[in-house]
């Protein structure tokens, strides 16, 4: 990938989600629990390449918070970029009411088992808005062991690994464990994917964002199993490394948060199947207030990491 092409694949803070249409489904990504699709997408101006499409209604074993998860992905990508990490370019699409001929033909070209799953996904998601992110084809899952094999990238990796832990602590995200890193190594940096479960305590509580924003105690066990836990622990006593992403999150202006939220479609404001309402306001209140608590939260994360060998 050329540097220019690679940059195009990643999200830029403040950039609105691309408005996409499914041209044809290409594959199902069955590694995780929600089985997102890979689809060739188009915009009003023409073909837009391959994107991961994450259906809000999930048929596999995984559960989804529906519209809340779509918003969590959009907000999660923004938080990662604010913290200094990469995250794939973001988009939104509305599942078509029915499959057209080109989609039918594309599905028939897939493996038999995949054909049925794809058709089912389109059926149960018809009319629903889905989160999309650029498919980073050459990306490899980030594994703790891989880091030792990349000595030439060590300083970048260390900064990114710490930023990943800081971003996850900020957004109450506990789904980036070594077993299932939800982070890839792409274009010589850590790129965070799958923010489906970011902010999840807000969905569960169905409560106000402001109350959870003041929670400064990261959940211990998942952070000890975090894909970046080892690197974070190695550098737990280097304040400058931690201060960089913390200061970036503290410095996010109100206007950036308000503009981000203003772009989320009104259809994403509620998930009736889960009894969740006021999603945009909840996340907005959370983001606005969370900035004041990120430093204390990260100090506590460092204490948790330092307390175990
Ligand atoms: N944008 C992407 N580029 C490359 N691979 C991806 C991308 N998004 C997801 N994947 C791959 O697909 C897997 C499942 O996607 P993910 O978004 O993690 O969904 P879930 O874990 O909810 O099923 C990931 O673990 C990763 O291997
Ligand atoms: Mg995943």
Q: How many angstroms separate the alpha carbon of residue 194 from the centre of ligand 1? A: 6
Tell me the average pLDDT across 20-41: 92
State yes or no: pLDDT of 211 exceeds 90: no
Beta-carbon contacts of residue 43 (< 8 Å; ≥ 6 apart): 18, 19, 20, 21
Burial of 47 (0-12, 13-18, 19+ CB in 10 A): exposed
Are residues 195 and 76 in contact, defined by beta-carbon separation less than 8 angstroms? yes
| CA atoms of 216 and 295, how far apart (whole Å) | 9
- The residue whose C-alpha atom lies closest to atom 16 belonging to ligand 1 is 194
- The residue whose C-alpha atom lies closest to atom 1 belonging to ligand 1 is 135
Q: How many angstroms separate the alpha carbon of residue 91 from the centre of ligand 1? A: 15
What digits encode the pLDDT tens for the residues 295-306? Answer: 999 999 999 999
What digits encode the pLDDT tens for the residues 177-188? Answer: 988 899 998 888
State yes or no: pLDDT of 228 exceeds 60: yes
Q: Point out the ligand 1 atom lying closest to the alpha carbon of residue 35.
A: 23
| CA atoms of 133 and 184, how far apart (whole Å) | 13
Are residues 75 and 195 in contact, defined by beta-carbon separation less than 8 angstroms? yes
Q: Point out the ligand 1 atom lying closest to the alpha carbon of residue 34.
A: 23
- Pocket around ligand 1 at a 6 A CB cut-off: 29, 31-36, 52, 62, 88, 133-136, 139, 141, 182, 193-194, 196
Q: Point out the ligand 1 atom lying closest to the alpha carbon of residue 136.
A: 3
Tell me the average pLDDT across 72-78: 98
Residue of 1, 6, 28, 31 with the most ligand 1 atoms within 8 Å of its CB, for mutation: 31
Residue of 10, 36, 178 with the most ligand 1 atoms within 8 Å of its CB, for mutation: 36
If we measure between CA atoms, which residue out of 216, 220, 170 comes closest to residue 195?
Answer: 170
């Amino acid at each position: 990938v050329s540097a220019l092409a690679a940059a195009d694949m990643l999200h830029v803070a403040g950039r609105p989600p691309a408005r996409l249409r499914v041209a044809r489904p290409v594959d199902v990504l069955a590694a995780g629990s929600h089985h997102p699709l890979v689809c060739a997408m188009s915009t009003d101006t023409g073909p837009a390449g391959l994107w991961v499409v994450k259906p809000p209604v999930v048929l596999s074993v995984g559960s989804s918070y529906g519209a809340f998860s779509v918003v969590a992905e959009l907000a999660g990508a923004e938080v990662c970029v604010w913290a200094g990490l990469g995250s794939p370019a973001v988009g939104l699409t509305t599942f078509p009411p029915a499959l057209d001929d080109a989609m039918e033909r594309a599905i028939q070209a897939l493996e038999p088992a995949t054909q049925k799953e794809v058709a089912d996904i389109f059926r149960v998601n018809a009319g629903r808005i889905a989160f999309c992110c650029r498919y980073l084809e050459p990306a490899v899952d980030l594994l703790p062991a891989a880091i030792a094999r990349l000595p030439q990238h060590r300083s970048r990796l260390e900064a990114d690994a710490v930023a990943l832990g800081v971003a996850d602590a900020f957004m109450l995200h506990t789904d980036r464990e070594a077993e299932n890193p939800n982070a890839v190594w792409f274009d010589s940096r850590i790129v965070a994917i799958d923010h489906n479960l970011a902010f999840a305590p807000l969905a569960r509580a169905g409560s106000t964002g402001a109350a959870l924003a003041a929670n400064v105690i990261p959940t211990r066990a998942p952070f000890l199993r975090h894909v970046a836990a080892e690197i974070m622990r190695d550098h737990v006593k280097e304040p400058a490394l931690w201060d960089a992403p913390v200061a970036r999150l503290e410095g996010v202006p109100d206007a950036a948060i308000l503009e981000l939220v203003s772009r989320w479609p009104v259809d994403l404001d509620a998930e009736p199947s889960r009894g969740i309402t006021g999603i945009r306001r909840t996340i907005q209140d959370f983001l606005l207030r969370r900035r004041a608590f990120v430093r204390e939260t990260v100090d506590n994360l460092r204490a948790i990491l330092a307390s175990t060998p």
